Amino acid sequence: MAGSRLDPWLGSYASRARSMSASEIRSLFAVASRPEVVSLAGGMPFVQALSVDDIADSVAAMIRTKGAVALQYGSGQGDTTLREQIANEVVAPVGISAHPDDVVVTTGSQMALDLVVRVFCDPGDVVLVEAPSYVGALGVFRAYECDIVHVAMDEEGLSPNALEDAIAAVIASGRRPKLIYTIPSFHNPAGVTQGPLRRTQILEIANRHSILVLEDDPYGLLGFDGPYADGAAPRAMRADDSQGVVYLGSFSKTIASGLRVGWAIAPHGVREKLVLAAESAILCPSNFSQLTVSDYLATQPWTDQIKTFRELYRERRDALLESLEAMMPRGTSWTVPEGGFYSWVTLPEGLDSRAMLPRAVAALVAYVPGTGFFVDGTGTESLRLSYCYPEPDRIREGVRRLAGVVESELTLVNTFGSAGHHADSGQQTPSPDVA
């Protein structure tokens, strides 16, 4: 097949690669990374809250005592000590009782997600996801040529009634859903959390239809309001169903994203397949990163550090919500997260967050348009705001700038009419700072 002047291999790509494209908003975020722009877009943890000196001391001690191991190949399943720490300590607050053999350490939970989809999904298989859903997960599902079906959410997350309807529609078409992908705690991007009854209902539906639940929980320990104000974490779905749920976790939000260490906790048979898939992809996760995390857990007050993160994110969430309430025009609404990094904003009728983004960046404020969290181009009326990284005063200034842009857009819409709907432009891959 023919290529092109820019890419002579264009005609040789696999079908799953031909639809891959960088989002058109990437170029805007290159501009948005300038210091004068207030970015409410990126989901980057505030790693400046960590003690770099303590981490440096911990890494230095690890290298002195375990350097030969840290710099060598390791197990495809992950370091034994770290798997023990994950199973016995890290997931205990969310109610999971796991054996270290159930744990597969991965290069971030994004890799764990990729491995699960690689093991379970053939092209055309149906995956049920929330509406909206994590943009990085959508990229994985589309890379493996899955048929993605969005399921409606409400103020408590994934709707059981909508889930039942979606499953019935898929079965009526002669197919069966392969996975249910959900972020039940402090959702990205919606900011909502499933209550205990809601989780039980979803598990019952999944079990009745023999559909595996893929539970993504990077924010579970970062609750700071409502039932989670005292540091309690939502009970994981995996805690109540060890055979029907694959649980994904990460140290990116609770320690540091640059370490790229995550994990999956899976039923025995699934775990074996994940290890084989991981070995064929990367041979093994980084021993250096794993031992860095393991020694940090063993020698540093990591639960105190999580408390520091929780208090910091609560202050920034409050700054965001107070500013939205004080400055955004009538007709704007938003979710009130009790943890995590994000609030989901719905604009006044007639506004298009994707069309508005260039003007927002020109006004020195950035966000992620809602269309990025759907596969069909919907979500134009919504956008995601992140409060995890900017200082509270920067958040207030960012909302002030955003409110001005929204006011201007309302004036344009009232004068010339609403913007048109954007069709889906294919598989768009997010950059890490936007996801």
- Residue 320's contacts (CB-CB under 8 Å, 6 or more residues apart) are 40, 343, 385, 387, 395, 399
Output the pLDDT for position 423.
47
Output the pLDDT for position 88.
97
Report residue 29 as tokens.
């975020």
Output the pLDDT for position 24.
53
Output the pLDDT for position 414.
85
Q: Set out the domains of the chain in order of their start, with CATH numbers.
A: 19-43+304-429 (3.90.1150.10), 73-299 (3.40.640.10)
Q: What is the DSSP letter of 262?
A: E
Total-model pTM = 0.93
According to DSSP, the residues that pair with 350 across neighbouring strands are: none
Burial status of residue 86 (CB atoms within 10 A of its CB: 0-12, 13-18, 19 or more)? buried
Measured CA to CA, the distance from residue 360 to residue 354 in angstroms comes to 10
Output the pLDDT for position 25.
58
Contact 230, 215 (CB under 8 A): no
Output the pLDDT for position 433.
55
- Residue 434's contacts (CB-CB under 8 Å, 6 or more residues apart) are 23, 25, 26, 29, 41, 42, 43, 135, 368, 372
81: left (phi over 0), alpha (psi -120 to 50) or beta: alpha
Output the pLDDT for position 10.
84
Contact 23, 428 (CB under 8 A): yes
Output the pLDDT for position 18.
72
Output the pLDDT for position 273.
98
Measured CA to CA, the distance from residue 226 to residue 249 in angstroms comes to 23
Measured CA to CA, the distance from residue 421 to residue 113 in angstroms comes to 31
Measured CA to CA, the distance from residue 413 to residue 349 in angstroms comes to 9
Output the pLDDT for position 425.
46
Within the chain, which residues score under 50 in pLDDT? 420-423, 425
Query: Regarding beta strands 368-369 and 382-386, do their DSSP bridges make them parallel or antiparallel, or are they unpaired?
Result: antiparallel
- Residue 371's contacts (CB-CB under 8 Å, 6 or more residues apart) are 353, 354, 377, 378, 379, 380, 422
